Amino acid sequence: MNEKTRRRRDPEERRAEILAAAFALFSERGFAATRIEDVAARAGIAKGTVYLHFPDKEALFTSLASGMASPILANMQAMAANDAIPGRMMIAGLYTLAQNEILGTDRRHMLRLLLSEGQFFPAVAEFYHRNVLTVACACCARSSNALRNGASCAIPGSHRCRRSSSHPC
């Protein structure tokens, strides 16, 4: 007699599985083309189980975006709060952080999704603006003064020097 046994999972473990399935599908198909049913199937659960953790697809997406952005934003905030970091080093650090933690990882798919589909989903775009862009911009505000003072020279190939033709950058 083959009896199907169900393993009870920790809610946080289940939530992580749902988020992983959603990220894979959003990356493959896009936000608009992915249905909650698809996420449930990819996670190997019933559709209703997704709704136990997330009230709707937008909440699922915002939770995913928040979870992916939080560690990066924490690093950016720590850099911005440290007055001992010179402007040049901060800009170089932000550049390295973007390269290593966004563009060089699967997070680049989230960035692509937010940029390409955010306009169609105002709640998602507003969340991203409020919780990600404003934090990133606040961090970069400190470095904007450094940019005016030539700090961008610390980032290879990232700018054109506007000070003078004789400036060595």
- Per-residue confidence at 157, pLDDT binned at 50, 70, 90? very low
Answer yes or no: CATH 2.30.30.100 is held by domain 11-154: no
In this model, does residue 3 exceed pLDDT 70? no
Mean pLDDT of 42-64: 94
Round the CA-based radius of gyration of the chain to a whole number and report it.
Answer: 21
Least confident range from 83-92, 104-113, 150-159: namely 150-159
Residue 157 has what DSSP assignment? T
Cα 153 from Cα 167, distance rounded (Å): 10
In this model, does residue 69 exceed pLDDT 70? yes
Q: Which two tokens stand for residue 22?
A: 């959603």
Question: Between residues 20 and 160, which one has the greater pLDDT?
Answer: 20
| Residue (of 90, 83, 11, 96) closest to 50 by Cα position | 11
pTM beyond 0.85, yes or no: no
Residue 150 has what DSSP assignment? T
Cα 19 from Cα 44, distance rounded (Å): 12
In this model, does residue 41 exceed pLDDT 90? yes
> Who's near 67: CB < 8 A, 6+ residues apart?
19
CB 65 within 8 A of CB 110: yes
Question: Between residues 43 and 1, which one has the greater pLDDT?
Answer: 43
pLDDT at position 144, please? 65
pLDDT at position 149, please? 55
| Residue (of 124, 125, 158) closest to 143 by Cα position | 158
- Per-residue confidence at 15, pLDDT binned at 50, 70, 90? very high
Q: Which two tokens stand for residue 134?
A: 């404003």
pLDDT at position 145, please? 58
| Residue (of 85, 98, 159) closest to 132 by Cα position | 98
pLDDT at position 88, please? 79
The percentage of residues in the chain with a pLDDT greater than 90, rounded to a whole number, is 36
